[in-house]
Amino acid sequence: MMALQAVALTVVAIAATAVVLVDDPVRQSMVASIMGLFLTSAFFALQAPDVALSMLAVSTVVIPALILLAAARVREIAGPGPRSGDDHDRDEGG
Amino acid sequence: MPPRVRTLLMGLAAASLLGLYVWGAAGLPDFGDTVSVYGTKVASVVSAERQTTNMVSAVVFDYRGFDTLGEEMILFISVVAVALLLRDARDETFEVTAEAERAERSPRGSDAVRALGLAVLGVTFLVGLYVVAHGQLTPGGGFQGGAVLGSALIGIYAAGNFATLRMLEPRGWMDAVHAAGAAGLALLGLGGLLAGGAYFQNFLYTGTSGDLISGGTIPIDNVAVGLEVVGAIALLAAEVLHDGVTAAPPPGEDAA
Amino acid sequence: MSMYPYIVAGWMLAVGLVGIARSRNLIHMVVCLSVVQSSTYVLLLAIGFRKHATAPITQGIAPWRRTVDPVVQALTLTDVVVEATVVALMLALAVDAHKRFGTLDPQRLRELRG
C-alpha cells in the first residue's frame, strides 16, 4: 500500500508546481482546484477521511470561487468595459 | 534595495531554510513508524468514554475543544474583517432592487445550467446537512458539512445570478446565522463550567455508541460549527459580490 | 520511501515560497500562499500515519485494528476550513489595495505611496 501513497503524493507535488508556474489568476484558480482534488485523494490514501472531506468541499469550490470573484472585482475597478460586462445583467441594448 | 540584492537575500534565506528543514526531517522517525503517545491513548479510550465512533470528532470537540474555539474565532474574525474592508455606507437597497429588476428582464446563462443547478444543488444541500448531523458517527462534522453547504450556496450564484442568491439569503439573516454559530460554540463550553467541570467538558448524557444522538455535547457543537461555517462562506461570497454590485452605477440612468 | 512524504512537503513549501517571492500579482501571491498551507497539511498527516493502520473510525472495523493518529487529523481538518477564510481575507486586502493604488503589482506598490 505504500506505492499508493507515494503516487498520490507525487501527483500533489506536480500539481503544486503547476499552480505556482501559472501566471494568470483566473487560470490559476482552476489549477488550484485540481490540486485540491489531488490533495483530497492523497489524504484518503493517508487514511484521513475527515480531512479529505473538508479539503474536497473547500478547495474545489470555495477557494476557486473566491479567487474568481476577487479577480472579477479587480477587473471592474480597473475599468468598466465589454470585458467585465458579463458579470452583471447590464442592459447593453440601450 | 535593488532587485539583484533582493534575489540574493531570498536565495540565502531559502538555502538556510532548506538546510534546517532537511536537518529536522532527517531526525524524524521513518514514515509510518511514528509513535504518537497522545494519539494512542486517545484512540484506546474514546469509544468507551464518549460513545462516539468517530475519534476525530471527539478530539476536535471534546478533548481539544478549546483549540477548536480558537480556530473558530479566527474564522469569525476573518469574516468580520472582510465585511469591514468591503462594506460601504452607501445606500444598498436601491442598487439591489435595480439589479433584481435587471435579472428579471434578462436572465443570464442558459436554461440548461439553471436546471442542472436546481437538480445538483438540492442534493448538495441535503448531503451537507447529512454530513453535519452525522459527525459523531462517520467522517463528517460541523466543519466539513458547513463547507459543503457553503459550496452549495456558491453554486446557487454560479447557476443563477446574484439576485437569486440575494433572495435566498438576505444579508441580515446570514449575519445572524454566522454570529449564532460562533456564539453557540463559546456558550456550549460554558455549559461545561456550569455543570461543575472544566470549560468544554462534555456534560450531557452520552447515549449509546452508534446512535444519532450520542457523544453528549458533540452533536450540538457540530450544529453550531456548521452554522458558523455556512454563514462565513455565504457572507464572504456575498460581500465580494455586493461590493461589485453597488460600485457599478445602475444602467437605468446610463442607457436612457 | 521512508522520508518521501516529508520531502514532498518540503518541496511544496519551497515551491510556494519561490512563487510568493517572484510574484507580480497580488492574487497570484495569495494562491501560492495556499500552496504553502497545503504543504503543512501534508506534513502533519504524514507524521500521523502508521503502517497497516486504518482510519480513526471505530464503526464497522474489528476492535483490535490499529488506527492512525486522530490528534493530527483534528488539527488539520479545522485548519483547512479556517485557512480558506484567511485566504478570503487576503483576497479582500488585495482588492482593497487595487482600489487605493490602482495596481496589483507588489513591486510597483512600493513606489505609489499614499
In a domain, C109, yes or no: no
Asked if B5 reaches chain C (Cβ–Cβ under 8 Å), the answer is no
In a domain, A86, yes or no: no
Give the Cα separation of B78 and C14 in Å (integer).
26
| Closest residue in chain C to residue B33, using alpha carbons only | C50
The residue segments making up the domain with residue C32 are 4-50+67-101
In a domain, C106, yes or no: no
Residue A62, all three cell numbers = 470555495
- Count how many domains chain A has: 1
Q: Mean pLDDT, to the nearest integer, of B23-44?
A: 82
Asked if C64 reaches chain B (Cβ–Cβ under 8 Å), the answer is no
Comparing CA positions, the residue from C89, A77, A62 lying closest to residue B157 is A62
In a domain, C110, yes or no: no
Q: Do residue C50 and residue B79 have CB atoms under 8 angstroms apart?
A: no
pLDDT in tens, A31-85: 999 999 999 999 999 889 999 999 999 999 999 999 998 888 888 776 654 444 4
In a domain, C74, yes or no: yes
**C interface mutation test: which of A47, A55, A58, A63 has the most C CBs within 10 A?**
A47
In a domain, C62, yes or no: no
- In this prediction the pTM is 0.84
In a domain, C31, yes or no: yes
Quote the minimal CA–CA distance from C3 to chain A in Å: 11
Cβ-proximal residues to C72 (8 Å cutoff; 6+ apart), any chain = B36, B39, C44, C45, C47, C48
**Helix runs in C22-114, H state only:** 26-48, 70-101, 106-109
Quote the minimal CA–CA distance from A60 to chain B in Å: 9
Residue B90: the pLDDT is 45
Q: Mean pLDDT, to the nearest integer, of B142-161?
A: 86
Residue A90: the pLDDT is 43
**For residue A19, which residues of chain C lie inside 8 Å, CB to CB?**
19, 31-32, 35
**For residue A6, which residues of chain C lie inside 8 Å, CB to CB?**
1, 4
Asked if A9 reaches chain C (Cβ–Cβ under 8 Å), the answer is yes
In a domain, A91, yes or no: no
User: What region, left, alpha or beta, does residue B34 occupy, with left being phi > 0 and alpha being psi -120 to 50 degrees?
Assistant: beta
Grouping H, G, I as helix, E, B as strand and the rest as coil, residue C67 is strand
Give the Cα separation of C48 and B239 in Å (integer).
38
B205 pLDDT band, cuts 50/70/90, is low
In a domain, C57, yes or no: no
Q: B247 pLDDT exceeds 60? A: no
Q: Mean pLDDT, to the nearest integer, of B189-214?
A: 71
pLDDT in tens, B65-76: 888 889 999 999
CATH classification at residue C74:
1.10.287.3510
Q: B212 and B133 in contact (C-beta within 8 Å)?
A: yes
The residue segments making up the domain with residue A27 are 2-79
Quote the minimal CA–CA distance from A77 to chain B in Å: 9
Asked if C89 reaches chain B (Cβ–Cβ under 8 Å), the answer is yes
ipTM value of the model? 0.86
- Count how many domains chain C has: 1
In a domain, A36, yes or no: yes
